[in-house]
A = this chain, B = another copy of it.
Amino acid sequence: MKISRPIGIFDSGMGGLTVVKEVIRYLPDEDIVYFGDTARVPYGPKSKDTIIRFSIENILFLLRHEVKMIIIACNTSSSVALSIVEQNFKVPIMGVITPGALEAVRLTKNKRIGVIGTRTTVKSGAYEQQILRAAPGMKVYSVACPLFVPLVEEGWVKTPITREIVQTYLAPLKTRGVDTVVLGCTHYPLLKTMIQEVMGKGVTLVDSARQVARQARIILEQEQLLADKRKGRREAVRFFVSDEPENFALNGQRFLGFPLRNVTKEPHV
């Protein structure tokens, strides 16, 4: 019987658990090693060079766990570091940008796509590039929403204040008449209901997490790296964080939908 290696997933913190959730859904037989860089979170406001440095350190950590594939769950890291690291490492590395961009292209009817993300993600223009590469005729409007992550972390996902902030940030996208909005940050699915209400029913929201899990399945099939059918219940996901594990385990449930066990502190940084 072949011993299958795990899939490695990293994020700046907790948001990447929305990706873990979808990977479990689409690849239920796979083992997962997750690293959340909670001691250095957030990546969103930091510079390209620093994010590349952090991403390389995270990849080296995951490689110590002999992962067969790495998913960069963090949009900011995907947008500025993926093109560098995929050149340098042998292990297949996926980001969340391309799957989200392609899904937006597939779904839009009026060819007007909105992208929301952190300041660095928006500044990088990564979604725009991927969307225009796939479909040059598209109009892409990007807006940085730096307060969304702190609001989610504060647990204010349904308050009137949050609604006002969502309205303020998304006003330019409404003006532009986009019919599709990419949630370009792993925290944003937690604000999905509010964003949908503010944008209106006619607008489709694209959650990159789901698309990246589907894409990961396709790549593992192509590379013949899929794990054998899981036999019996066991611990399939191990979580490592650079700050203390208690808070991560406690709050992670909001992102993952079920309680986290197996959270270990690993301050490789």
A residues bordering B, Cβ < 8 Å?
38-41, 45-47, 49-50, 53-54, 146-147, 149-151, 153-154, 156, 161, 164-165, 168, 242-244, 247, 267
Contact = CB atoms under 8 A, between A and B. Distances in A.
Given A161-B161, A161-B164, A164-B161, A50 B267 contact: yes
A165 B146 CA distance: 16
Contact of A147 (B38, B39, B151): B151
Contact of A150 (B50, B147, B168, B267): B147
A269 to B, nearest CB: 8
Number of copies: 2
Given A154-B147, A161-B165, A39 B50 contact: yes
Pick from A46, A151, A267 the residue with the most CB of B within 10 Å.
Answer: A46
15 contacts: A39-B46, A39-B50, A39-B54, A41-B45, A45-B153, A46-B243, A47-B243, A47-B247, A50-B244, A53-B267, A147-B151, A147-B154, A161-B161, A161-B164, A161-B165
